Amino acid sequence: MYLEKQDYQIRVRLDLLDVLLENITLQAGGQQASPADILTAADKIASDTIRSKVGVLYNVTDELQKTGSDRNGYLIALGISIGLYEIYQRSDDEEIPAKVIKNYNDALNALDAIAKGKEAITLPSLISDAPSGDGGLPERGVGLRRIGSAPKRSHRI
């Protein structure tokens, strides 16, 4: 798991998180899921979202395998926003607080900006091992990277 329970204390008191987790009733084959199962599911959703978006340009596979203080703090914060939103989605008769929704939307917007190369993150670039067809240099990630801000020409010369 990339996200640890202690990481959530950035956004919510851990005793409040425990109460929220205890109030969640997930039915899986007639059995109630444990709080650890719910945290694992929220971590998986957050990790998969990060991998899907940031993994276009950056090597996140190695990052998501790290533990403890070796992890990227920015990705932890983004993951917590996604994970906490997913935890609230599973709660019975609870409204999701506005700040949880805002943090979730902000996290998705940040991930989209990173995926488009409009926001920087301190992760290694994704480089394929296969040489490209134009000279044997490795190809960079398949995502869009913008260099410069000049508008495209409307005609050919």
Q: Which of 4, 27, 29, 32 is nearest to 17 (CA)?
A: 4
Strand stretches in the chain, DSSP E = 27-28, 31-32, 127-131, 138-140
Please give the structure tokens belonging to residue 157.
């010369």
Q: Give the tens place of pLDDT for each residue, 26-40.
A: 444 456 778 899 999
Q: pTM of the prediction?
A: 0.76
Which pLDDT score is estimated for 24? Answer: 73
Which pLDDT score is estimated for 111? Answer: 96
Interatomic CA distance for residues 137 and 61, integer angstroms: 22
Which pLDDT score is estimated for 93? Answer: 52
Instruction: Identify the burial level of 121 via C-beta atoms within 10 angstroms of its C-beta, where 0-12 means exposed, 13-18 middle and 19 or more buried.
Output: middle
**Who's near 111: CB < 8 A, 6+ residues apart?**
49, 50, 53, 54, 78
